Amino acid sequence: MPTLTVEYHTDAERLELERAIAYVTEMRRLGASAAAGTVLAACEGFALDAGRRLLRENLEAAVQGRADVEKKRRGRGAKGDADVT
C-alpha cells in the first residue's frame, strides 16, 4: 500500500492535516458504504456538517497561529526594548 509523508511545523498544523485526512477518509467510506440511490445524499450531508466543522476548525487554527506569532513578537519586542533603554 502506498504511503504519504507530510511535513508540518507545529502540533497544531499536524492536527489540522490529520483532520483533513480523516475527513477525506470518512467521505470515501460513506460513498462506498451508502445504499444505492443514497450516496449523494449521504456524502452531501457529511460534507455540509463535517466540512463546515473542518473549515471552522482550520479557520480557528489559522487565527490562533497568527495570534501566537504576534504574542511571541510582542514578548521579544518588550525584552528587546528593555535592553535598549
Q: 79 falls in which pLDDT band (50, 70, 90)?
A: low
Record the pTM.
0.76
70 pLDDT higher than 70:
yes
C-alpha 22/C-alpha 42 separation (Å) is 16
Alpha-carbon distance of 65 to 15, in angstroms, equals: 13
> Please, what's the b/e burial string for 30-68 (b: 16 or more CB within 10 A of its CB; e: otherwise)?
beeeeeeeeeeeebeebeeebeeebeeeeeebeeeeeee
Quote the pLDDT of residue 29: 97
Q: The C-alpha cell of 83 is what?
A: 535592553
Mean pLDDT of 37-62: 96
